[in-house]
Amino acid sequence: MCKIAICPGSFDPITNGHLNIIERGLKIFDKLIVAVAVNVTKKPIFEPQERLEMLKEIFKDSKHVEVDSFKGLLVEYAKKRGVKAILRGMRNMSDYEYESQLVLANKTLDPDVEFIYMMTEGKYAHLSSSIIKEVITFGGSGCGMIHPIVEKRLKDKLRAEIKT
């Protein structure tokens, strides 16, 4: 049987922490669907389509990764795709609090969906999309934090914004 999981996130933008979870997730799952979702509590800088484009470019040679996006509830998307496993990363206790709420709400909506968590590797535990956006905005390097494709896109977007 082919083991598939959905790896959902805002990915605004995707960080090396996310990429590390996906890479390690592929040791457990045969295929991962990396799905750009809308988190209504966040104000993203990239449109969903732009985030999807970056992911497609990053994973263009990965046979075992499919990139997709969805609107609406994660459980509905999982049902539509016929997938019952959701893979997420966890960095610290504040992630734990947020993720436990996410799991409980999703399990209430669909008890058949299972969430699998991987601890973020120590070298990525301090990373967040917000921190990276700040580093790039003020001229710092994203080396070791984000994929070069993401760094280029971020520089184009954020440094253009700062000039206006």
CA–CA dist 33, 80 (Å, integer): 13
Which is closer to ligand COA, CB of 105 or CB of 116? Answer: 105
Confirm or reject binding of residue 150 to ligand COA (CB under 6 A): no
Q: How far is the CB of 139 from ligand COA (least distance, A)?
A: 19
Q: What is the DSSP letter of 112?
A: T
Q: Which of 51, 91, 147, 153 is an active site residue? A: 91
Confirm or reject binding of residue 15 to ligand COA (CB under 6 A): yes
153 flagged as catalytic: no
18 flagged as catalytic: yes
Binders in 28-87 for ligand COA, by CB under 6 A: 37, 39, 42, 73-74
The bridge status of strand 85-90 relative to strand 65-69 is unpaired
C-alpha separations of 92 from 32, 37, 121, 152, 159 in Å: 23, 22, 11, 29, 31
Can you say whether the dihedral through the CA atoms of 68, 74, 80, 81 is positive or negative?
Answer: positive
Binders in 114-133 for ligand COA, by CB under 6 A: 120, 124, 127-130
Active-site positions?
18, 42, 91, 129
